Amino acid sequence: MLYKTSGVCTREINLEIEDSVIKSVEFVGGCAGNTQGVARLVEGMNVNEAIKRLEGIKCGSRSTSCPDQLALALRQALK
């Protein structure tokens, strides 16, 4: 699934989910070290658990962040 982000440096998030488990995540753009770290931490995690942990995280004064955008992408994937 390809998710176009909004309000963050990352332009898009590519993710693969199988049986409600996150198989892979790739952030395009953004802070490479942070986004790679987030991607590796959620791989193998249940989608709902990842959403619970990431949703609502802010980046500085922004109302969203790359982890929050990932939670939005995961929510969309569940639909």
Q: What are the strands, taking DSSP E only, across 1-79?
A: 2-4, 12-18, 21-28
Number of compact structural domains in the chain: 1
Which residue ranges in the chain fall short of pLDDT 50?
none
User: What is the extent of the structural domain holding 41?
Assistant: 2-78
| Alpha carbon separation from 76 to 18, 23, 31, 61 (Å, rounded) | 14, 16, 23, 25
pTM for this model (two decimals): 0.96
pLDDT at 37: 97
Q: Which amino acid is at 61?
A: S
Q: Answer whether 22's CB lies under 8 Å from 1's CB.
A: no
Residue 24: predicted pLDDT: 98
Q: In the prediction, which pLDDT does 70 show?
A: 98
pLDDT at position 63: 96
